[in-house]
Structures are given as structure tokens and as C-alpha cells.
Chains A and B, each alone.
Chain A
Amino acid sequence: MSLLEVNSLKKIYSSAFKSNAVTALNNISFSVEEGEYIAIMGESGSGKSTLLNAIAALDTPTSGNILLKGTDFTKIPDHKMAAFRRSHLGFVFQDFHLLDTLTLEENIYLPLVLNNTPLHEMKRRLNALIPSLGIGRILKNYPYEVSGGQKQRAAVARALITYPDLILADEPTGALDSRSADELLNLFNEINENGQTIIMVTHSISAASHANRILFIKDGAIFHQIYRGTASNDELYNTISKTLTVLMSKAPSPIRRIAN
């Protein structure tokens, strides 16, 4: 059994005036095995965030279903959803999504606190994370007092601390300088090597070249996918850029370019 199965997922955004409905996802199906590191690429507006939000159960799909370890969570009732989300899924967002009212330490604890985890257990888990994340000295700071890279590492710590089945990251390097971005990608590789499954949406080819598998999305459907196999990061980088050239040449609107 796969860790995650996405079956013919469809998402239609319909505004109050039915006439201009947008089909953001059009029959997407794929599965993710435990321990995989998947990058999702595609043009802006191609439906990447919509897909990730559906997997994150932040949004309900129009049709289709998503199974996490065999459980269809599109069928989980609303009031149990929050608890399900915080015990099975971890998130990393482009703009960090840290609460300004909490210190970094408290931000990291947040999902555990909501799960009623005892304090000593929270401390134990955080202490185990600190060496690889290098955030030991800034734990008592507030998010607005530290740099973007530090914020993102705190956000990663918050995602990891629940020992989630799956980490979902939506353009996690999007707001970081290249050094911080590299550090974050190395961190992702490290946690992936420890067995953590990751799905990451990205615009950046170099970010995607860290993954084991790359899914290309176009107009709400999977257009292509690349497996790393035995390729090195550089080889993968080349393959990805070639694929993207093909993807773009077929793009309906030549003005829409991929960033980076």
C-alpha cells in the first residue's frame, strides 16, 4: 500500500457568477511511497498550490479522493479534521506562516500543545531537532526578530516535531536568499535520508534537482514526471531544464514564464 494515493482529483473554483468557473485541477492521479521526496513543478497558476492544499486537507476537492495510509480523508468530518491534520501532516510555507505572537520555540510547540503533549515530551523532541536545524540560540526570539532562513528552519522544526507521515512544502525556498535556500534544501535531503516523506512545490530547478521524483503540472493535469534513478543532482538539473523547455514551448501563453 502506498503512503499517499491521489485518485482522479478535480477542483473547480466557481465564483458567485457561475459563468467564469476555473478548473484548477483536472483529474490528477498519482501515488507516493513512503520515504519518497517529490518535487512538483509547473507554471504559475497551473494548480500546484491547489493540489497541495487538497492533500493538506485545507481545501475540499470537487471530486476524487485522497488516501493517506488507506484512510480517505476527504471523508473525515470537519471537527476531527484539525486533529487529523496536525498528527499526520506537516507544512512548510513560502512565507513561513509563523505566529508573531509566539516565540520561535512556542511556534514549534504549537501543534504539540494542541495535541495535549506533555511539556517534557515536547522538550525532548525539540532537543533532538536542534542540532540539525541550528536554531538553538534563537528559540526565545520572536519571528520578526530573526532572518528569513531562520524563520523557515523554525517552520521546518514545527512541521517535523509532530513526526508527521508526510511533509508538504509550498515553495519553501521562494522567499529565501540563495544561501538560505541551499541550507534548507540540504536540510530536506537530510531529513529525507532519515526516512521522512516530502512533497515540495517549487519554481526552482535547483531546488527540484534535490528530489527523487519530479512531477510536472500543466493546466491542472500531470504533464510529465521524472525519476532520479541514479542520476546526480547536476544531471537531474539538466533533465529538468530540458523538460521545462518542452513544457513552455507548448504553453498557450508565451508571456507566462516560470520564475527563476
Chain B
Amino acid sequence: MKLKLYSKLAVSSIIKNKPLFIPHILSGVIMTAVFFILYALSGSSAIEQLPAGGVALVVLLKYSAILIGFFSIPFLIYTNTTLFKNRAPEFGLYNVLGIGRIAMIPLLFLENLLTYGIVIFSGLFIGSLLFKLAETILIRIMKGDISYSLHLNLNAAAVTIVWYAFTFLILFLSDSIKLLKNSTVDLLRTSHFGDNPLKHPRLSTILGMLILACSYLASFWVGSRGESPTNHSLTCFNLTCGIIISTYLLFVTGSIYFCQKLQQNSEFYFTPKHFITISSLKHRMHRNGSGLASICILATFVLLTLTFSFAFYRGCSTMLNSHYPNDLSIVMQAKEDTSIDNSNAETIEKTLESHGLISQASSLLSATATSAYLTGIIDMSSNVYSQEFQNSRPKKFFPNNDDLVDIRVISLEDYNKLCKTDVTLDDNTVLIMSKSSGYTDKILSLIGCDGHTYAIKTTDTIPPLTELKYNNTYPEGSGIKECYVVVPDISSFLGTDVTGKTSYGYVTYYKEYDVSLSVSKEEQLSIGNAIVSDLEASIDHSSSELSCATRVEKSDKLSGLSGGLLFLAFIVSLIFILMASLIIYYKQISEGYEDSTQFDIMRKVGLSLNGIHSTVNFQLLLTFFSPIIISGLHLLFLTPILYRLLAFSIVCNKSIIIMTTILSFCTYSIIYFSVYKFTSNSYLKRIAGKSNS
């Protein structure tokens, strides 16, 4: 019976306080939807099957999902506090009318449960709808090549449900504490409930600045390491938390401290221009600081997502060129403890001949090895992955990539053929080149696998290797040092006994065939398919791993995937922006009435309408644009990490990354600005309407 009464009360109070509940529920719905999408995507097999950067993207998505999950808590607490603040008099009144405060707790619980129900249901609904939409587009573009499992979506849904149940439990507890802690009179004093003066504005401002500076420095530190940021996930996580915390501190207390400082400067403060502006700014920040901080963090997040997706989209062709440089490429990788299986090589050549392609193909034998680079000497004689090597090196140098160099050994004959040069080498000399300029100049000598020392031939007379089309190279800017070593004869250079050497990552042999096809796309595809099926049947798989792909096929998939991702990122960003603007809009409307009485008073006391309008405009501009300006700053300082992350997996072109960053910032600003124009007009009308009457 009691439950029935309470549920009735809960439903009616939500309906009655619709304007207050809507922003709160809306924020919740969007948080859950975005959390769900990100989490589901991070478990999607489509992403993992990406030819390049898939793993990084999965990490990034999961990371974003976790961040959004954690971020939801302060954000929803903020919207919930606003809600509670406005409803405090109602609770106070119940109390006056004789309902005990303890007795109101079940009501609060039911209200929160109901809100949670609405939020989770709509959030998952909208989330899956968008996810399905993106997925459908992806599958269509990728011609159904990717297999999806429903299981992963269910998993994401379950995680979403549990996580937000936890979040709403926190909201319920904070409401209950507030209800029990405050006296009835405090509850009844409607408009100033919770407007307590700050405790230590100076201290927390300084703390906020320090944390922010540290976070920014950490970003540069991670960016300066020549490795993937995923290797520094703890630092990245701390840094992200640092940025979130400092943003809150600076918006909530820093802004007020700043205003207080200005107010203390009487000569500055007591002038017509600054007096009203500063005092009302302080008031506004006091009320909305945490809301603006939330919006700022969301905006930063949106900007990062947008930048990443834009870069992914723009970097597609670069990625294609680096990973699939040839129309058709057949790469045979020797398995552990073996060298290249020559009979397999012959099979490949025969197959190509039977398709009449042998004249368009060029072959290349190469071997990769990860070696130590120590003060000017490349040492290939020890296995850097072996325990002895790791133990003998000072810890701080290992496994830092600065100390490792990835070597690709090719024969002089192949080199001369591919680069159309006529270079000769002495027996004890090798050629060394690298993509990053200035690096090879520092290399003085090279110790071969057998411990023999080779002299280095000067590099500046050698034509650039850009003519060479390799598969499986690292993108430029990834921070991995990659050297090409040209030797007279590969097998004598690496030694004839490969046992124990060709284990993973140490030395691996490759034989690749690059075929150029000058026929239509469709024909290229069918040729590729024919060759794949021929090779699968005839090759001895015990000694080699074979990968065979046409560029056309990969290109289709890649652009489809990047397009889909961009689309999704766009949708997510749009939701974010709309949400942020809606929250601001609702705040404007709810404060509009209060503000209009304030402005009415100002007019009666002798402030001209012009003065009022310029004050209103300034406040609107500030509330709308301070979050986006600060988030732009965050983005700027996070660029080093973003660059590393992108460079490691996808794009290496600095200008592309800068362009995409700017592009996403502009896109965001334009959408945001239109929303601002739309909402501020209605706000101004409200204010003007009130104070003119």
C-alpha cells in the first residue's frame, strides 16, 4: 500500500517538475548512449580487423568508454544538484507539513529508480539504434565481410546497465545525505540553497594551475617518447584525470578567485564598466562553474574524437600506401627457425606466370631484425629479446625504443635493380639508410650477426629509397628507428645457420612479389581472388606464412571503415554538442527569470538599457565560449599525445594532423556558435521583454 502511494508520488513529482527533470534525464540518456556506443565499438570485431591501427583504435575506444563512464559521475551529480537545489523548498514544505525526513528517503529512492529506468532504457535504445545504423553502413560498404556477434553488444549493454546503476546509486545517496544534513529552514530558503562561500579559493586555484601544468607537461613528455602512448597508459590516465580535476578546480574556484582579486582592486572594480560585470560574473560562476567545467571536458572529448576520426579518414590513403603500396602484393614470411622456402617461391612465380603476370612483377628478398643501437654502433649479434641481453642492459634503456633499431636487410643486387643504381660494396662494408634524416650520420659501424664488424658506406651519395615499395613498414613519425642495411649477400651476412635466430622479432625473412596491374578495378579483384585460391592450394604452409592482397580490395574496406568511423564520431560529437547546448539553454531559461528581475532592478536604479544589454551579452558570451576556449587549449596541449597515437598507427603527416585538429575545432565551433545564436536570442528576448514592461 505504502509502496503504491510512494510510487504515485514519485511519478507525479517527476511529471510536475518536468522542466527540472528534463535536463537531468537528457544528460543521463546521452551519457549512457555514448558510453554504450563506445563500449560496444571497442568490442567490435570490425575495428579489430582493421589493417592498421585497429589495436590502437580499440584501446582508444575502450579508454574513451572508461573515461566517459567515470566522467558521468561528476556530470550527473552536477545536473542532479541543480535539480535538488530547485526542489529543496518542496522537501522543506513536506517536512513542515509533517512528513519526516527519513520517510522521504524511500520517495527519493523511487524517484531515482524511475529516472534511472528512463535513462537506461532510452540510452540503450538510442545507443543501439545509432550503433546499428553505423554498423549497417559499415557492413554495406565492406560488403558483409566482417562478422559481428550479438554477444558483444549484450555484453556492452550489461556493462552499461551495471555502471549506471552504480552512478544513480551515488546520486541517490548524495540526495539523501543532503536531505538529512540540512535543516528545514535551509531547505526552504530556496534560491540560495547550497550557495555557500568557497573555503579556500586561493589554495584550490593554485592547486588547479599546478595540476594543469603537470598534465600538460606530461603530455609533452609522452609525446617526446618515441613510442606508442599505449605503452604509457598509466601516465595517460593520470594526465587525463589531472586535466579533468584541474578544469573543475579552475572553473569552480579559479574563476571566483579571479573575480575576488579584481574586486579587491577598488580603482578597477568601482567603475561603471566593471562593477556590474564582475559582480554578476562571480555570481554566475558560483552557480554554474561545475556545469561549465563539465561542458569544457565534454568539448575536449568531442574535439579529440573528431580529430582522431578526421585524421583516420584523411590518413586512409597514406595508410594504404604504406601498408599496401602495390596493386597486388604477395608476401611470404618465413616461419620460426626457417629461412625462405625456395620451392614455395618457385610456386608463386609459376602461379604468376600462369596468369601472365610475371613480367609485371618484381621480387625482393629481405630480412628484418631488431637490434641494439648503442653509441654509434648497431649491434646485431645479440638477440635483444633474450633474457641475457635484457639483464645486461641498464633498466632505463630497455625496452625504450630509443635504444632499439629496426633493421631491414636487403641485397645489393635487389637494391640496384629497384633503385636503378649501380652501387658497389666492398666485402666488409654495408650501406645504411633511414627514413628519419640525420640519424644514419651518427652510425659509425655495424656488428653483424656473427660478430663481424662492418664499415659504413657514406650515405649521402645514395639515392633515396622512396622508390622502393615495401610492405610492412612502420609509418614515419611512429618513433621507431628503422634502417635499411644493404649488403652484398643476405645469407652470408646473416649466417647460414638460422636456427634460434629467426625467432619472433629478431630475424625474419621475407620474400615479396609486387605486381602492378593495369586493368580495371573489377578485373584486379578477380585476378587477386584467382591468385589467392591458386596459392592457398599449392603452397607448403608448414614453412611460410603467406599474405596476398590487392590494393583495390583493401582500399574499399579501409575507406568504408574510416567513413563509418567518421560518421559515428560525427554523430557522437553532434549529440555531445547538442547536449552541452541544451544544458546551457535550460540554465539560461531557468535563470532567465531571476536574471530579468535583477536587470529590472538595475534599470530602476539607473542603468541604461544599453548597459544592461552589454552586460547580458558579455555573460552569455562567457558562459558559452569559456568552455570551448579552454577545451581548445586542452586540445592544443594534448596534440603531442594525439600525434604519437596517430603516427604510430595511422597517419604520420604532421600537417594532416594539424589540419584535422583545426578542422575539428572549426566544425565544433560552427555548430556550437549556431546553437549559441539560437538560444541567446530567445534568452535576450526574455530579458528585454521583462525589463521593458
Q: Point out the residue from B267, B601, B607 that lies within 8 Å of A119, measured CB to CB.
A: B267
B259-315 residues with Cβ-Cβ distance < 8 A to A are 266-267, 270-272, 275, 279-280, 282-283
Distance (whole angstroms) from the CB of B314 to the closest CB of chain A? 48
Taking CB atoms, residues of chain A closer than 8 Å to B611 are 82, 114
Taking CB atoms, residues of chain B closer than 8 Å to A106 are 275, 279
B194-239 residues with Cβ-Cβ distance < 8 A to A are none
Known: A113-B271, A122-B270. Contact between A82 and B279, CB under 8 A?
A: no
User: Which of A95-103, A223-231, A244-252 contacts its partner?
Assistant: A95-103
Among A56, A81, A91, A101, the one with the most B-chain Cβ atoms within 10 Å of its Cβ is: A101
CA distance A221 to B603 in the complex (A): 28
Among A58, A82, A86, A116, the one with the most B-chain Cβ atoms within 10 Å of its Cβ is: A82
Known: A100-B283, A100-B598, A101-B283. Contact between A91 and B270, CB under 8 A?
A: no
Complex contact A102–B279 (CB within 8 A): yes
CA distance A58 to B611 in the complex (A): 16
Taking CB atoms, residues of chain A closer than 8 Å to B602 are 99, 110
Question: Is A47 on the interface with B (CB-CB < 8 A)?
Answer: no
Complex contact A119–B610 (CB within 8 A): no
Question: Is A79 on the interface with B (CB-CB < 8 A)?
Answer: yes
Question: Is A85 on the interface with B (CB-CB < 8 A)?
Answer: yes
Complex contact B275–A113 (CB within 8 A): yes
Taking CB atoms, residues of chain A closer than 8 Å to B605 are 86, 91, 97, 110-111, 114, 158
Question: Is A216 on the interface with B (CB-CB < 8 A)?
Answer: no
Interface of A is mostly: helix
CA distance A82 to B614 in the complex (A): 15
Complex contact B270–A109 (CB within 8 A): yes
A149-185 residues with Cβ-Cβ distance < 8 A to B are 158
Known: A97-B601, A109-B270, A110-B275. Contact between A79 and B283, CB under 8 A?
A: no
Known: A81-B608, A83-B606. Contact between A101 and B266, CB under 8 A?
A: no
Contact with B along A202-218 (1 / 0, CB 8 A): 00000000000000000
Taking CB atoms, residues of chain A closer than 8 Å to B270 are 109, 113, 119, 122
CA distance A81 to B266 in the complex (A): 27
Distance (whole angstroms) from the CB of B260 to the closest CB of chain A? 12
Among B189, B608, B610, the one with the most A-chain Cβ atoms within 10 Å of its Cβ is: B608
CA distance A12 to B272 in the complex (A): 35
Complex contact B272–A116 (CB within 8 A): yes
CA distance A30 to B224 in the complex (A): 83
Complex contact B606–A86 (CB within 8 A): yes
CA distance A249 to B564 in the complex (A): 82
CA distance A112 to B192 in the complex (A): 28
Complex contact B266–A99 (CB within 8 A): no
Taking CB atoms, residues of chain A closer than 8 Å to B601 are 97-99
Distance (whole angstroms) from the CB of B615 to the closest CB of chain A? 11
Taking CB atoms, residues of chain B closer than 8 Å to A115 are 272
Known: A116-B272, A119-B270, A122-B270. Contact between A101 and B606, CB under 8 A?
A: no
Complex contact B608–A144 (CB within 8 A): no
Complex contact A114–B272 (CB within 8 A): yes
* Total count of chain B residues near the partner, CB < 8 A: 25
CA distance A71 to B605 in the complex (A): 20
Contact with B along A113-126 (1 / 0, CB 8 A): 11110010010000
Question: Is B604 on the interface with A (CB-CB < 8 A)?
Answer: yes
Complex contact A99–B606 (CB within 8 A): no
CA distance A58 to B282 in the complex (A): 28
Taking CB atoms, residues of chain A closer than 8 Å to B192 are 100, 144
CA distance A206 to B37 in the complex (A): 71
CA distance A58 to B604 in the complex (A): 7
Complex contact A116–B271 (CB within 8 A): yes
Complex contact A91–B272 (CB within 8 A): no
Distance (whole angstroms) from the CB of A53 to the closest CB of chain B? 9
Distance (whole angstroms) from the CB of A176 to the closest CB of chain B? 18
CA distance A114 to B610 in the complex (A): 13
Interface of B is mostly: helix
Taking CB atoms, residues of chain A closer than 8 Å to B610 are 79
A3-35 residues with Cβ-Cβ distance < 8 A to B are none
Taking CB atoms, residues of chain A closer than 8 Å to B607 are 82, 114
Taking CB atoms, residues of chain B closer than 8 Å to A114 are 272, 275, 605-607, 611
Taking CB atoms, residues of chain B closer than 8 Å to A86 are 605-606
Residue of B whose beta carbon sits closest to that of A87 = B606
Complex contact A113–B272 (CB within 8 A): yes
Q: Point out the residue from A101, A116, A158 that lies within 8 Å of B282, measured CB to CB.
A: A101
Distance (whole angstroms) from the CB of B613 to the closest CB of chain A? 12
Complex contact B604–A97 (CB within 8 A): yes
Q: Point out the residue from B267, B275, B280, B606 that lies within 8 Å of A85, measured CB to CB.
A: B606
CA distance A173 to B606 in the complex (A): 23
Complex contact B275–A99 (CB within 8 A): no
Distance (whole angstroms) from the CB of A256 to the closest CB of chain B? 24
Residue of A whose beta carbon sits closest to that of B601 = A97
B591-642 residues with Cβ-Cβ distance < 8 A to A are 598, 601-611
CA distance A113 to B192 in the complex (A): 26
Residue of A whose beta carbon sits closest to that of B606 = A86
Residue of B whose beta carbon sits closest to that of A84 = B606
Distance (whole angstroms) from the CB of A212 to the closest CB of chain B? 26
Distance (whole angstroms) from the CB of B66 to the closest CB of chain A? 40
Contact with A along B44-61 (1 / 0, CB 8 A): 000000000000000000
Residue of A whose beta carbon sits closest to that of B597 = A97
Taking CB atoms, residues of chain B closer than 8 Å to A78 are 609
CA distance A109 to B271 in the complex (A): 11
CA distance A81 to B272 in the complex (A): 16
Distance (whole angstroms) from the CB of A82 to the closest CB of chain B? 4
Distance (whole angstroms) from the CB of B424 to the closest CB of chain A? 84
Complex contact A99–B598 (CB within 8 A): yes
Among A79, A99, A102, the one with the most B-chain Cβ atoms within 10 Å of its Cβ is: A99
Distance (whole angstroms) from the CB of B108 to the closest CB of chain A? 27
Among A58, A97, A98, A116, the one with the most B-chain Cβ atoms within 10 Å of its Cβ is: A97
Among B191, B270, B607, B610, the one with the most A-chain Cβ atoms within 10 Å of its Cβ is: B270
Distance (whole angstroms) from the CB of A87 to the closest CB of chain B? 8
Among B271, B605, B610, the one with the most A-chain Cβ atoms within 10 Å of its Cβ is: B605
Residue of A whose beta carbon sits closest to that of B192 = A144
Contact with A along B330-368 (1 / 0, CB 8 A): 000000000000000000000000000000000000000
Residue of B whose beta carbon sits closest to that of A81 = B608
Complex contact B279–A101 (CB within 8 A): yes
Residue of B whose beta carbon sits closest to that of A82 = B608
Distance (whole angstroms) from the CB of B191 to the closest CB of chain A? 8
Q: Point out the residue from B271, B283, B604 that lies within 8 Å of A91, measured CB to CB.
A: B604
Distance (whole angstroms) from the CB of B187 to the closest CB of chain A? 15
Among A102, A110, A158, the one with the most B-chain Cβ atoms within 10 Å of its Cβ is: A110
CA distance A64 to B339 in the complex (A): 109
CA distance A79 to B192 in the complex (A): 34
CA distance A93 to B59 in the complex (A): 63
Distance (whole angstroms) from the CB of A97 to the closest CB of chain B? 4
CA distance A144 to B609 in the complex (A): 26
Complex contact B272–A101 (CB within 8 A): no
CA distance A81 to B605 in the complex (A): 11
CA distance A93 to B601 in the complex (A): 10
Residue of A whose beta carbon sits closest to that of B272 = A114
Taking CB atoms, residues of chain B closer than 8 Å to A113 are 270-272, 275
CA distance A56 to B600 in the complex (A): 14
CA distance A122 to B282 in the complex (A): 23
Distance (whole angstroms) from the CB of B428 to the closest CB of chain A? 83
Complex contact A111–B606 (CB within 8 A): yes
Given contacts A79-B610, A86-B606, A114-B611, 8 further A-B contacts (CB under 8 A): A91-B605, A99-B598, A100-B192, A100-B598, A101-B280, A101-B283, A114-B605, A119-B270
Closest 3 CB pairs of A and B: A86-B606, A82-B608, A101-B283
Ordered by A's residue number, 6 sampled pairs between the chains whose C-beta atoms are within 8 Å are A82-B606, A83-B606, A86-B605, A91-B605, A113-B272, A158-B605
* B residues apposed to A, CB below 8 Å: 189, 191-192, 266-267, 270-272, 275, 279-280, 282-283, 598, 601-611
* A residues apposed to B, CB below 8 Å: 56, 58, 78-79, 81-83, 85-86, 91, 93, 97-102, 106, 109-111, 113-116, 119, 122, 144, 158
